[in-house]
Each structure stands twice: as C-alpha cells, then as structure tokens.
Amino acid sequence: MPETRFTQEHEWIRMDGDTAVVGITDYAQQQLGDIVYVELPAVGKALKKGDEAAVVESVKAASEVYAPLSGTVAAVNEALAADPALVNQAAADAGWFLKLTGVAAAEFGQLMDEAAYKKYLAGLA
C-alpha cells in the first residue's frame, strides 16, 4: 500500500510510483457538504507548491485547492465532470482530483503522515 500524506488544507497525496495522486480528505468533503462542481487544471500545467490547482464548489461555497507539491499536471479525474458527488462518496480514492509528475521526494516527506493528520484534526474539533 503506497503511503498517503496530508496537508493542513485537507488534501491527501499518495505516491503511485513517480506520480503523486491528489484529492481532498473525507473531513474536507464533510465540511463542504454536497459538492456540485470541481474545476480542474489543464493537463501539462506546471504548478508550484501553493499554487491554485483546482476549485471545488459545494452548494454554498467555492474553495480553492492548492498544489501540495510542485509538479506538472499529468492527469485530471475526468469522471468528476459528470459526477462531482464522487468526492462526497469516495474522497480518498474514486474522488481523486489530479496527478502530478516531477515531484520532489523531499517535499512529499515534509507533509503530515496519517497519524499527524489525525492529531491535527483532533486539534480542530
């Protein structure tokens, strides 16, 4: 099982070989409520860590999703266009947003692991 890491902005990042798969956490989808639209970046776009990578819209709000790592967009989850509710139903897998290549292992290593993220969430409650 590849390791998953997390950000304070409630994104998850999973390394799949050299590719980082990015989505938002179950906590994030619960906070947002019914997700009605996900605006995804163009494939091939180079992102620096912290750049706006996507926008997720729920019935009440629009929130930016920031690139958790620097890299190049290799793929986006086209299934979200037809069925944005996938993010609510399966935030951690089928509801992924985008894949990044050319990421630095060191940047990945600086992100929170699952235990640290759980502790971070507990601190928010």
Partner 1 sequence: MRYLPHTEADRRAMLAAIGAGSVDALYQDVAGSARLPGLLDLPRHQPEMTVERELAALAARNRPAGSMAFFQGAGAYRHHVPASVDHLIQRGEFLTSYTPYQPEVAQGTLQALFEFQTQVALISAMDVANASMYDGATAAAEAVMMANRLTRRRKALVAGGLHPHYREVIETYGRWGGFTVQAGAPDPTGIEDLVAGIDRETSCVVVQNPSVFGHISDHTALAEAAHAAGALLIVVVTEIVSLGLLTPPGEMGADIFAAEGQSIGNALNFGGPYLGLFATRDKYVRQMPGRLAGETVDADGRRGWVLTLSTREQHIRREKATSNICTNSGLCALAFTIHLSLLGEAGFTHLASLNHARAVQLAEKLGAVKGVTVLNPAFFNEFTVRLPKPAGAVVDRLLERGVLAGVPAQRLWPDRPELADLLLVAATETNTEADLDLFAGALVEVL
Residues lying near partner 1 in the complex (CB under 8 A) are found at 36-37, 39, 42, 55, 57-62, 64
Question: Minimum distance between the CB of residue 47 and partner 1, rounded to whole angstroms?
Answer: 14
CA distance 22 to 123: 23
Question: Minimum distance between the CB of residue 90 and partner 1, rounded to whole angstroms?
Answer: 22
Question: Minimum distance between the CB of residue 62 and partner 1, rounded to whole angstroms?
Answer: 4
SS3 content of the chain, % helix, strand, coil (to 5): 25, 35, 40
Q: Which is nearer to partner 1, 61 or 104 (CB)?
A: 61
CA distance 86 to 5: 21
Q: Which is nearer to partner 1, 62 or 104 (CB)?
A: 62
The dihedral over CA atoms of 12, 68, 8, 84, expressed in degrees to the nearest 10, equals -50
Q: Which is nearer to partner 1, 59 or 105 (CB)?
A: 59
Q: Which is nearer to partner 1, 54 or 103 (CB)?
A: 54
Strands 52-58 and 46-47: unpaired
Residue with tokens 């860590």: 49
Question: Minimum distance between the CB of residue 100 and partner 1, rounded to whole angstroms?
Answer: 18
